């Protein structure tokens, strides 16, 4: 395997980015990007072109730095978009991901690629009357999804909010100590898997899309780290790896999948996927299982007997930022 | 007029009876034709409580030579349990525990149930919660949502101390260290 070891900042790494950059408006970038992604069949070349353009015309130092990994393998560089992968490509990719875990962390991992099941559309419901803000979900999620421990990355944010208000003004996600605090309630926020996802629209290279079961996924090999999706998300659910993720080997969950919890490289965006590596195999998400109050409910929206459907049919539902028209698959309810 | 009211009451009672399904009776008539992928029809497993109860079996461990005293009083001798913090002031041990066999619980109509079926007892006074629990809405179900493998449903007493069922407080795990951009800028 040939390794390209670029010296970042010189533009010699082959990633098409240069450190000498002019600054241009984000809007210009978006126009450029829109033009580039026209004709989805040419995903690969458009992404390259976008990266080149981004660097020469409109990049910023931050983007240039984050887009370059210190060591990019040839396969990685010529990687096709997830949707274009043949079975053989996928097998090779999985092998490579498993090898990387072995080389980098000395851990044997098992990477799968579970697909949506026809007739299944996921939804999540969270009981705001019962959540006590203990953050068990936040940490169980990090563990399940192999998110970086240093810098620390959590997909779930728990907001502590004044009782009797629905306003996030003055909400706090850095509270400590004993919970629930008097006169407070708690609102965990994670990716809402919107049916009308602003993040997907914002991506200039279609590295993120919505799957048939409702989960919004990211192709970590395709993501260029521009962070438009992060900015576009009204639920602040996306996270960017601005440094190489650090995990101790003992932290690593070896049950991984391509589109969810495999160990990410630096420079890509990630987020909650409803634990698709678990849920597509029929299991509940990790955050749900760990909740001591039973506030978290998950299931198939198309099954009238599922917990989530019964909740939507019988309880008082609150859709966060409903007015934005994002159509989330994550519902809050009161009991 | 009076008769109409009576009929209404009967109708409502019948309705509420229909809304209290036991596992066996959990059916979905209207929806039976819809796609049922991942339907969770199989009754979930309810882990037994007795292995969790340190003082069980109660008779053998403590109550062999004691005659239960049904009077409400301060419990001086025993355990950490001094008084009840459940329900109203009339509540006493024998509302739930079966004085004739302290290894079992007693329902309001006198039937006995095992500690493993305490939810039937709780459900007699908390019918709404019992129904939601049965539907998977109250309490916690874990394992497999799609019914392909075991689904586990916690009994009420896995979360609620029957002697003081009020929600306990927890220590929150540490706050996240990473500040989100949006938070620094303030929420939209």
Q: Which position has the higher pLDDT, B17 or B40?
A: B40
Question: What local confidence, expressed as pLDDT, does residue A60 receive?
Answer: 43
Mutate to test the interface with B, among A134, A181, A294 (most CBs of B within 10 A): A294
Q: Nearest chain B Cα to A321, which residue?
A: B188
Mutate to test the interface with B, among A233, A305, A315 (most CBs of B within 10 A): A305
CA dihedral B111, B114, B118, B124 (to 10 degrees): -10
Q: What three-state secondary structure class fits A311?
A: helix
CA distance B162 to B170: 18
Above 70 in pLDDT, residue B28?
no
- Using the beta-carbon criterion (under 8 Å), do B37 and A310 form an inter-chain contact? no
pLDDT band at A191 (very low <50, low <70, confident <90, very high): very high
Tokens 């629209």 belong to residue: A201
Q: Dihedrals φ, ψ of B128, to 5°? A: -65, -45
Above 80 in pLDDT, residue B95?
yes
Q: Give B113's strand partners.
A: B105
Q: Nearest chain B Cα to A283, which residue?
A: B144
Name residues whose C-beta falls within 8 Å of residue A2's C-beta, 6 or more positions apart in sequence. Answer: A73, A74
Above 80 in pLDDT, residue A202?
yes
The CATH number linked to A315 is: 3.30.70.20
Beta strand spans in chain B (E): 105-106, 112-113, 141-143, 151-153, 170-171
**How distant is the Cα of A284 from the closest Cα of chain B, in angstroms?**
6
Question: What local confidence, expressed as pLDDT, does residue A125 receive?
Answer: 98
Residues A144 and A52 placed together within one structural domain of the fold: no
Instruction: Look at residues B156, B146, B164, B140 and name the one whose alpha carbon lies nearest to residue A127.
Output: B140
Q: Dihedrals φ, ψ of A93, to 5°? A: -60, -45
- Using the beta-carbon criterion (under 8 Å), do B170 and A230 form an inter-chain contact? no
Residues A170 and A251 placed together within one structural domain of the fold: yes
CA distance B103 to B55: 10
Q: Which position has the higher pLDDT, A75 or A138?
A: A138
Q: Give A73's strand partners.
A: A3
Select, from the ranges A2-6, A122-126, B166-170, the one with the highest average predicted confidence (pLDDT): A122-126
Instruction: Look at residues A8, A21, A19, A50 and name the one whose alpha carbon lies nearest to residue A207.
Output: A50
Mutate to test the interface with A, among B40, B47, B140 (most CBs of A within 10 A): B140
Q: Please check whether residue A263 lies inside any domain of the structure.
A: yes
Q: Dihedrals φ, ψ of A16, to 5°? A: 85, 5
CA distance A245 to A261: 13
CA distance A36 to A205: 8
- Using the beta-carbon criterion (under 8 Å), do B169 and A132 form an inter-chain contact? yes
Residues A234 and A311 placed together within one structural domain of the fold: yes
Category of A208 on φ-ψ map: left (φ > 0), alpha (ψ -120 to 50) or beta: beta
Domain extent, residue A67, equals 19-78
What does the pLDDT average to over A42-48?
51
Residues A150 and A231 placed together within one structural domain of the fold: yes
Mutate to test the interface with B, among A282, A301, A310 (most CBs of B within 10 A): A282
Q: Nearest chain A Cα to B150, which residue?
A: A283
Name residues whose C-beta falls within 8 Å of residue A41's C-beta, 6 or more positions apart in sequence. Answer: none
pLDDT band at B139 (very low <50, low <70, confident <90, very high): very high
- Using the beta-carbon criterion (under 8 Å), do A305 and B36 form an inter-chain contact? yes
Give the model confidence (pLDDT) of A82-123 as tens digits. Answer: 999 999 999 999 999 999 999 999 999 999 999 999 999 999
**DSSP secondary structure letter of residue A290:** H
The CA angle B186-B187-B188, to the nearest 5 degrees, is 120
Question: What local confidence, expressed as pLDDT, does residue B43 receive?
Answer: 84
Residues A133 and A59 placed together within one structural domain of the fold: no
Question: What local confidence, expressed as pLDDT, does residue A75 receive?
Answer: 63
**DSSP secondary structure letter of residue B79:** S
Relative orientation angle of helices B118-125 and B127-134, to the nearest 10 degrees: 130
Q: Are A191 and A229 in contact (CB under 8 A)?
A: no
Would you say the ipTM is above 0.90?
A: no
Question: What local confidence, expressed as pLDDT, does residue A4 receive?
Answer: 32
Q: How far is C-alpha A247 from the chain's CA centre?
A: 18
Task: Check if B159 contacts A (Cβ < 8 Å).
Answer: yes
**DSSP secondary structure letter of residue A199:** H
Q: Please check whether residue A3 lies inside any domain of the structure.
A: no
Residues A74 and A187 placed together within one structural domain of the fold: no
Select, from the ranges A115-119, B8-12, B28-32, B86-90, the one with the highest average predicted confidence (pLDDT): A115-119
Show residues of chain B in contact with A293, CB under 8 Å: 140, 159, 167
Above 80 in pLDDT, residue A222?
yes
Show residues of chain B in contact with A292, CB under 8 Å: 140, 159, 170
Above 90 in pLDDT, residue B143?
yes
Show residues of chain B in contact with A177, CB under 8 Å: 171-172
Tell me what percent of the residues of chain B surpass a pLDDT of 90.
45
**Cis omega before residue A224 (within 30°)?**
no
> Rounded to a whole number, what is the largest CA-CA distance in chain B?
69
Above 50 in pLDDT, residue B17?
no
Count up the domains in chain A and report the number. Answer: 2
Domain spans of chain B, in order of start: 87-163
pLDDT band at A73 (very low <50, low <70, confident <90, very high): low
CA distance A333 to A308: 10
**Mean of per-residue pLDDT scores for chain B:** 77
Q: Please check whether residue A174 lies inside any domain of the structure.
A: yes
- Using the beta-carbon criterion (under 8 Å), do B142 and A288 form an inter-chain contact? yes
Of B137, B147, B183, the CB nearest to A310: B137
Q: Which position has the higher pLDDT, A333 or A7?
A: A333
Q: Is B177 exposed, middle or buried (0-12, 13-18, 19+ CB in 10 A)?
A: exposed
Residues A56 and A129 placed together within one structural domain of the fold: no
Above 80 in pLDDT, residue B137?
yes
Above 90 in pLDDT, residue B65?
no
Q: Please check whether residue A51 lies inside any domain of the structure.
A: yes
Tokens 């098992």 belong to residue: A110
Question: What local confidence, expressed as pLDDT, does residue B66 receive?
Answer: 80
CA distance A130 to B133: 14
Residues A59 and A180 placed together within one structural domain of the fold: no
- How would you label B46-82 residue by residue, b for 16+ Cβ within 10 Å and e otherwise? beebeeeeeeeebeeeebeeeeeeeeeeeeeeeeeee
Question: What local confidence, expressed as pLDDT, does residue B118 receive?
Answer: 96
Question: What local confidence, expressed as pLDDT, does residue B33 receive?
Answer: 32
Strand A255-257 and strand A110-112: the pairing is parallel
Of B39, B140, B142, the CB nearest to A305: B39
Show residues of chain A in contact with B41, CB under 8 Å: 305
Name residues whose C-beta falls within 8 Å of residue A287's C-beta, 6 or more positions apart in sequence. Answer: A137, A138, A140, A141, A144, A156, A188, A190, A275, A296
- Using the beta-carbon criterion (under 8 Å), do B35 and A236 form an inter-chain contact? no
Q: Please check whether residue A107 lies inside any domain of the structure.
A: no
CA distance B72 to B82: 11
CA distance A291 to A318: 20
What does the pLDDT average to over A163-168?
84
Q: Please check whether residue A228 lies inside any domain of the structure.
A: yes
CA distance B95 to B79: 19
Task: Check if B173 contacts A (Cβ < 8 Å).
Answer: yes
Query: How many beta carbons lie within 10 A of that of residue A111, not counting itself?
Result: 22
CA distance A28 to A8: 25
Q: Are B178 and A153 in contact (CB under 8 A)?
A: yes
Q: Are A147 and A157 in contact (CB under 8 A)?
A: no
Residues A135 and A241 placed together within one structural domain of the fold: yes
Q: Please check whether residue A326 lies inside any domain of the structure.
A: yes
Residues A262 and A128 placed together within one structural domain of the fold: yes
Q: Nearest chain B Cα to A233, which residue?
A: B182
Q: DSSP letters of A16-63?
A: S--S------HHHHHHHHHHHHSSGGGHHHHHHHHHHHIIIII--HHH
- Using the beta-carbon criterion (under 8 Å), do A168 and B37 form an inter-chain contact? no
- Using the beta-carbon criterion (under 8 Å), do A307 and B39 form an inter-chain contact? no
Residues A134 and A34 placed together within one structural domain of the fold: no
Name residues whose C-beta falls within 8 Å of residue B185's C-beta, 6 or more positions apart in sequence. Answer: none
What does the pLDDT average to over A254-274?
97
Show residues of chain B in contact with A288, CB under 8 Å: 142
- Using the beta-carbon criterion (under 8 Å), do A236 and B180 form an inter-chain contact? yes
- Kindly tell me the sign of the dihedral angle through the C-alpha atoms of A179, A330, A280, A97: negative
Residues A74 and A146 placed together within one structural domain of the fold: no
């Amino acid at each position: 395997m040939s390794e390209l070891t670029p010296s970042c900042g010189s533009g010699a790494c082959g990633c098409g980015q240069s450190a000498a950059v002019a600054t241009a408006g984000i809007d210009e970038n978006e126009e450029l990007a829109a033009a580039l992604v026209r004709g989805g069949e040419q995903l690969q070349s458009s992404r390259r072109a976008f990266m080149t353009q981004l660097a020469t015309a409109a990049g910023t130092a931050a983007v240039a730095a984050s887009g370059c990994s210190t060591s990019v393998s040839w396969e990685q560089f010529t990687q096709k978009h997830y949707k274009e992968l043949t079975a053989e490509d996928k097998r090779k990719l999985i092998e490579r991901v498993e090898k990387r875990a072995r080389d980098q962390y000395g851990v044997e991992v098992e990477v799968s690629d579970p697909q949506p099941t026809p007739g299944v559309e996921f939804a999540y419901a969270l009981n705001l009357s019962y959540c006590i803000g203990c953050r068990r979900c936040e940490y169980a999620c990090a563990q399940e999804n192999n998110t970086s421990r240093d810098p620390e990355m959590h997909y779930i944010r728990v907001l502590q909010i004044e009782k009797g208000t629905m306003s996030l003004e003055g909400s706090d996600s850095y509270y400590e100590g004993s919970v629930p605090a008097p006169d407070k309630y708690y609102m965990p926020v994670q990716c809402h898997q919107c049916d009308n996802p602003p993040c997907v629209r914002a991506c200039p290279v279609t590295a993120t899309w919505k799957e048939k079961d409702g989960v919004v996924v990211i192709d970590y090999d395709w993501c260029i780290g521009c962070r438009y999706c992060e900015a576009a998300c009204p639920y602040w659910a996306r996270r960017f790896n601005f440094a190489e993720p650090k995990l101790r080997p003992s932290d690593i969950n070896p049950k991984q999948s391509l589109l969810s919890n495999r160990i990410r490289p630096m420079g890509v965006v990630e987020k909650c996927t409803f634990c698709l590596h678990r849920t597509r195999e029929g299991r509940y998400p990790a955050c749900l299982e760990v909740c001591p109050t039973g506030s978290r409910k998950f299931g198939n929206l198309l099954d009238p007997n599922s917990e989530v459907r019964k909740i939507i049919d019988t309880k008082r539902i609150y859709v966060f930022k409903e007015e934005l028209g994002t159509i989330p698959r994550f519902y809050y309810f009161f009991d | 007029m009076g008769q109409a009211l009576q009929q209404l009451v009967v109708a409502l009672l019948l309705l509420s009876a229909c809304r209290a399904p036991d596992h066996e009776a959990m059916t979905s008539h209207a929806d039976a034709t819809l796609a049922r992928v991942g339907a969770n029809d199989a009754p979930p497993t309810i882990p037994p409580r007795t292995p969790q109860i340190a003082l069980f079996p109660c008779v053998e461990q403590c109550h062999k030579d004691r005659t239960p005293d049904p009077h409400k009083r301060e419990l001086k001798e025993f355990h950490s349990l001094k008084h009840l913090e459940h329900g109203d002031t009339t509540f006493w041990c024998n509302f739930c525990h079966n004085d004739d066999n302290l290894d079992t619980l007693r329902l309001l109509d006198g039937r006995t149930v095992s500690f493993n079926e305490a939810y039937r007892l709780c459900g007699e006074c908390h019918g709404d919660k019992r129904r939601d629990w049965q539907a998977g809405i109250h309490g916690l179900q874990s394992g497999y949502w799609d019914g392909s493998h075991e689904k586990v449903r916690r009994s009420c007493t896995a979360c609620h101390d029957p002697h003081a069922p009020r929600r306990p407080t927890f220590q929150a795990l540490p706050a996240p260290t990473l500040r989100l951009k949006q938070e620094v800028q303030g929420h939209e």
